[in-house]
C-alpha cells in the first residue's frame, strides 16, 4: 500500500511540476524537444567510411539504451533465476517470491521488480565459454567479441558515438551534448594489479569516440547540489538514497536531455567493498549471498523500478531500452565462505522498455542453475540486440589494424525480443 501511495503522489507531481530552470542540468524537457535533440542514431560502416543517406534516415528512428551494468557478475540464483526446489547448498538462504507472471519467481530482494515483471522481459539462458575472468567477459559483454591476435574490438558505445557524430555532420544538425555517457561511482585504484582491455573503450578505433565519463560522488558534491536539487523529493525517495538510485536517476536525466546511450556501473568491484562479485573473501570481495538480500538487491530493486516508472511517466520508455545484467553469473554451489564463484556457463538479464514484448521469459537454466536447457542465448546476441536498437547492422564490417575485415558482432539480435 505504501508503494502505491508513493507512486500516486509521484504521478500527481509529474502532471503538475513545471520545467526546472536551466542551470546546466535539466530535470524536465518537452517531448518535442527530446525528439528534436535525441532522435539521432546511425549505422556503423567500415572505419573512415561515411554513413549513407539511407543509414542516416534509418538512424532517426533508433531508440535509446540505458545499460545498468551489474559489474562483477551478479548471482542469477539470488536475483532473476532462483531455484526454490534445489538442494540447500544450491538454492542458498535467500527465498524466492512470486511475481506478476504466474509461475515465475524472483529473489526476495526484488519485490518491486516482481510487481512489474509483466512489463519486463527476462533472459535466463545467457552464456559464454571464454575464461571466467572479468576482463574477457567484459570484452564479450561490451563488444560481442574477444580481443586477441592484435585486435581490440570497439565497444558498442564507441561505434554509436562515431556514427552519431558523422551523421549529425552530414545532416547539418547540432551535436552538442554527449550521445554516449558512462556513469560510475568513485573507485580506488588497486595497486600492483595489471590492467587488461575490458572492451569499454574505442580499442583499435582509438580515443576520438570514447564515451563521456561522469564520476558521481553522491554526497556533498556538485552532483548532489546541481543535479538532484531540481528533482522532487518524492522522486528521489522512489529511486532511493543510494549510489544506485542516484545514478539511475542521473541516467534518466541524461536520456531526457538527449543522450542516446547511458551505461551505469552498479557496485563495481572494489577491495573490501560489497559488490555483485560475492566471493566471501575478506581481503578482496567480502560479499556473501545474504548481502544480496539485505543490501544490494533492495537498493537495485528500488532504483530499477523507479527508473522504468519514471521513463514511462515521461513518455520515454517505449523509446528507451533498459537492460540490467553482468558479465557472467555465479556458481551453483555456495562456497565455504558463503559466497559464489564466477560462472559464465549460464546467467540472467532483465530488460524493459524499447517497445519490446512484455511479460516474456526467454530461455531457461537447468534445475541447478548450472547450464541452459532451453534457448541458449550467447552474450554476443545481446550485443547484437543493442545495435538493433540503434538501427545498426551488427554484421557491418570494419577493418582491423592487421588489415582483415571483421563484423561488429558475429551474431544476430535475439529474435524473441522483436516478435
Q: How far apart are CA 392 and CA 118, in angstroms?
A: 28
Residue position matching grid coordinates 530499477: 304
State yes or no: pLDDT of 52 exceeds 80. Answer: no
Pairing of strands 212-215, 180-184: parallel
C-alpha–C-alpha distance, residues 93 and 289, integer Å: 8
Q: Which residues pair with 148 in a beta bridge?
A: 151
Q: What is the pTM of this model?
A: 0.85
pLDDT band of residue 200 (cuts 50, 70, 90) is confident
| Residue-averaged pLDDT of the chain | 83
pLDDT of 254: 94
Percent of the chain with pLDDT over 70: 80
**CA-CA distance, 278 to 289, in Å (whole number)?**
7
Backbone angles phi, psi at 262, to 5 degrees: -125, 125
- Minimum mean pLDDT range among 112-121, 127-136, 277-286, 349-358: 277-286
Q: Average of pLDDT values for 213-235?
A: 74
How far are the Cα atoms of 134, 180, 182, 199, 396 from residue 207, in angstroms, in the given order? 22, 13, 14, 13, 21
**Residue 42 and residue 40: Cα distance in Å, rounded?**
7
**Domain residue extents for the chain:** 29-417
Model confidence at 380: pLDDT above 60: yes
Provide mean pLDDT across the span 164-174: 75
Give pLDDT, residue 347: 98
* 267 against 408, higher pLDDT: 408
* 307 φ, ψ (degrees, to nearest 5): -65, -50
Distances (CA, A) of 102 to 273, 308, 350, 359: 36, 21, 17, 10
Determine which of 6-10, 110-114, 269-273, 385-389 has the lowest per-residue pLDDT on average: 6-10
Residue 419: which pLDDT band, with cuts at 50, 70 and 90? low
> Could you read off the pLDDT of 173-185 as tens digits, one per residue?
665 678 999 998 8
pLDDT of 328: 98
Say whether pLDDT at 42 is over 70. no
* Confidence label for 243 from pLDDT (cuts 50, 70 and 90): confident
CATH code: domain 29-417 is 3.40.720
Rounded mean pLDDT, 232-257: 93
Amino acid at each position: 500500500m505504501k508503494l502505491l501511495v508513493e507512486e500516486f503522489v509521484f504521478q500527481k507531481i509529474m502532471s503538475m511540476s513545471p520545467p526546472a530552470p536551466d542551470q546546466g542540468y535539466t530535470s524536465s524537457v518537452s517531448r518535442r524537444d527530446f525528439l528534436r535533440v535525441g532522435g539521432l542514431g546511425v549505422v556503423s560502416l567500415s572505419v573512415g567510411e561515411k554513413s549513407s543517406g539511407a543509414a542516416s534516415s534509418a538512424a532517426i528512428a533508433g531508440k535509446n539504451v540505458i545499460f545498468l551494468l551489474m559489474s562483477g557478475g551478479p548471482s542469477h540464483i539470488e536475483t532473476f533465476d532462483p531455484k526454490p526446489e534445489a538442494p540447500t547448498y544450491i538454492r542458498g538462504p535467500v527465498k524466492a517470491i512470486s511475481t506478476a507472471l504466474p509461475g515465475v519467481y524472483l529473489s526476495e530482494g526484488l519485490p518491486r521488480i516482481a510487481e512489474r515483471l509483466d512489463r519486463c522481459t527476462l533472459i535466463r539462458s545467457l552464456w559464454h565459454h571464454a575464461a571466467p575472468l572479468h576482463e574477457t567477459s567484459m570484452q564479450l559483454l561490451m563488444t560481442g567479441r574477444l580481443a586477441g591476435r592484435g585486435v581490440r574490438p570497439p565497444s558498442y558505445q564507441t561505434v554509436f558515438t562515431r556514427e552519431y557524430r558523422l551523421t549529425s555532420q552530414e545532416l547539418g544538425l547540432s551535436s552538442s551534448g554527449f550521445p554516449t555517457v558512462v556513469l560510475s561511482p568513485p573507485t580506488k585504484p588497486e595497486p600492483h594489479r595489471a590492467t587488461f582491455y575490458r572492451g569499454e573503450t574505442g580499442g583499435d578505433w582509438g580515443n576520438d569516440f570514447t564515451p563521456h565519463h561522469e564520476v558521481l560522488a553522491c554526497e556533498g558534491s556538485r552532483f548532489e547540489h546541481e543535479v538532484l536539487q531540481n528533482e522532487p523529493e518524492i522522486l528521489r525517495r522512489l529511486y532511493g538514497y543510494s549510489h544506485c538510485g542516484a545514478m539511475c536517476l542521473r541516467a534518466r536525466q541524461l536520456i531526457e536531455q538527449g543522450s542516446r546511450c547511458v551505461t551505469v556501473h552498479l557496485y563495481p568491484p572494489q577491495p573490501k567493498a560489497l559488490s555483485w562479485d560475492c566471493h566471501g573473501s575478506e581481503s578482496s570481495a567480502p560479499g556473501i549471498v545474504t548481502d544480496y538480500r539485505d543490501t544490494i538487491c533492495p537498493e537495485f530493486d528500488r532504483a530499477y523500478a523507479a527508473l522504468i516508472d519514471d521513463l514511462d511517466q515521461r513518455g520515454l520508455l517505449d523509446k528507451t531500452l533498459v537492460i540490467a545484467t553482468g558479465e557472467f553469473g555465479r556458481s551453483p554451489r555456495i562456497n565455504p565462505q558463503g559466497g559464489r564463484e564466477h560462472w559464465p556457463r549460464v546467467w540472467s538479464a532483465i530488460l524493459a522498455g524499447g517497445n519490446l514484448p512484455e511479460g516474456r521469459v526467454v530461455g531457461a537454466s537447468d534445475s541447478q542453475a548450472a547450464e541452459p536447457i532451453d534457448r541458449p542465448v550467447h552474450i554476443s546476441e545481446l550485443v547484437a540486440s543493442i545495435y538493433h536498437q540503434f538501427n545498426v547492422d551488427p554484421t557491418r564490417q570494419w577493418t582491423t589494424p592487421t588489415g582483415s575485415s571483421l563484423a561488429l558482432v558475429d551474431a544476430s539480435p535475439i529474435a524473441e525480443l522483436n516478435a
